[in-house]
Amino acid sequence: MKTTVVRAARLFDAIEGVILKDVDVAVRGDVIAEVGPGLRGDEVIDLGDRTLLPGFLDVHMHLTGMRSYAEARHLPPRETLAVRAAQDCAALLAAGFTTVRDCGSGIALNLRDLVADGTIPGPRIHAAGPVICQTGGHADAHHLPLDLARAQPDSLIADGPWACRQAVREAVRAGADFIKICTTGGVSSERDHPNDAHFTPEEIAAIVDEAHRLGRRVASHAQGRAGVLAAVLAGVDSIEHGYYLDDECVAEMAARGTFYVPTFDLRTFFQKTIDGGHGLPEWRLRKQREAIAAMGPSLLKAHEAGVLIATGSDYLGTPLRAHGDNADEPIALVGGGLPAAEALRALTVNAATVIGVEDRAGSLQPGRWADLVAVDGDPLADIEALRAVTFVMKDGRVHTAH
């Protein structure tokens, strides 16, 4: 089998969080065969004065196909959304994202299969499918009558422990790779608040037990303290957003190994849109102003407590949240106070561990998928280098090279 050696001046060791000099990566088929200096192969791709990294991961995003915020209430035809979302898959791959976790979109289940069989280019997709929430919860379409909201394909509304178990089974039946639930209200849902605690402890425990019994991890949309803590104590695998963390939350997360996906660059989005010039309603802008003040302290509190952090952009494909710009998230983490090495680990090995593919992705080691990205410059010295992607290989196949 042909061996291709990829060579660059620097390589980011995601396990140790350091830059190595003059280390090559040998690729055979779709996996990494060897890593070390002076490797030989049938073909050598010399990238010169660049940095090699593992393929990037975004573990909280949505392939919705939406292009404006008004479309949340008046969706275009599903076929239109699917074509747009396929374009987003190509943009993600070109930006170095070789694996993503879609945290709620019916379209993503189909896109996952189309990427896997080679019909369209894109990152490897782990998809939640429909999001599970309580009646009136964050994923409930509040603007619709309840019977129509229950019929929406991107959410499952459940109340009571047994109905929650059934919702998990329905999500798995639909093809979910993991389970996404909402244990608080949210910024973008009209009739609740991020500090509202959703689902009872018994309901959350039923969801987690059923999901784990069926071999699925659980990611919880949880912004306020009470809903975060309830989710962590019930055994969810990751907290998404976590805007209002306190010492008890981060202590329990650190002790239990609960991952934190802070979607921190949303703070930038919130700041850019609070002027009211982007068509967002005042009730949402009010909640955004509140969240901005809380997000920075929560991120640092989690980091200082030793909570494992992974990158999730929560990008949708809409203005200021366009797919292809997902490196905004690790860059924002550094702006929020994380060391560059930790932001890069959040983008690679930590994110792979959230999904459960750390033995296949997230680091450049023999036996891992041959997912390689090269950037101009040294991202450990200047995290902005993540925007300058010049080379992308996924599964041993070169998709971008310039």
Q: What is the mean pLDDT of each run of 10 residues along the chain (402 residues)?
A: 96 98 97 97 97 98 90 84 97 98 94 97 98 96 84 93 98 98 96 97 98 98 98 98 98 98 97 84 94 97 98 95 97 98 98 98 98 97 98 96 78
Res 70: pLDDT: 77
Res 32: pLDDT: 98
CB 55, CB 369: distance < 8 Å:
yes
> Please, which residues have CB within 8 angstroms of residue 127's CB and are 6 or more apart in sequence?
101, 102, 105, 108, 109, 111, 112, 175, 176, 177
Angle formed by the axes of helices 266-273 and 282-304, nearest 10°: 150
Res 346: pLDDT: 98
Res 221: pLDDT: 98
Res 386: pLDDT: 98
Token readout for 8 is 């660059």
